[in-house]
Amino acid sequence: MKNWIANTKLNTLLDGGSRDLDGEQVRRLLIEYCERYQEIYPFEILEKPLAYLTQHTSSEISYEIAHAELSIAAAEYCFSLNEISEALLELINTRHLTVAQAKKVINHIFEAYSCNESPEEFIEREDAYLCEKLSSITG
């Protein structure tokens, strides 16, 4: 997979502010970011897992169902669905993200965008969006 964020302001922000990052807050931000992608490029199979992740409910049954549906989605024929599913699997399996994990999740999401838009259409826009969101939680 291409490293989509290597030359972005976001990459610099993540590297520079790594000690100030709250892994749970970053995780929540990235769940919301996946939800934003879902609003633009919806996949029915992601509705339940995203509901599980955004409703902050932690039942073992809901987790198992969400994880199973994401695993199925990650193996589907649509590449952008695979990428978003992989991002969500990382988020569902980790409570406090490291900078490396956050970059991996963002890279999956950018890869999904690349299936629908050219890099010129989304990189700058999404970089600015995520920089603003990340700055709001790091102070």
d(CA 84, CA 71): 11
Q: Is the pLDDT of residue 14 over 80?
A: yes
pTM of the model: 0.91
d(CA 53, CA 56): 6
Q: How far is CA 32 from the centre of its chain?
A: 8
Q: Comparing 38 with 21, which gets the higher pLDDT?
A: 38
Q: Does 36 fall in a domain?
A: yes
% of the chain residues with pLDDT over 90: 63
Q: How far is CA 1 from the centre of its chain?
A: 15
Query: What contacts 121, CB < 8 A, 6 or more positions away?
Result: none
Q: Which domain holds residue 47?
A: 9-138
Q: Does 2 fall in a domain?
A: no
pLDDT tens profile 42-61:
999 999 899 888 886 566 67
Q: Does 105 fall in a domain?
A: yes
Query: How many domains are contained in the chain?
Result: 1
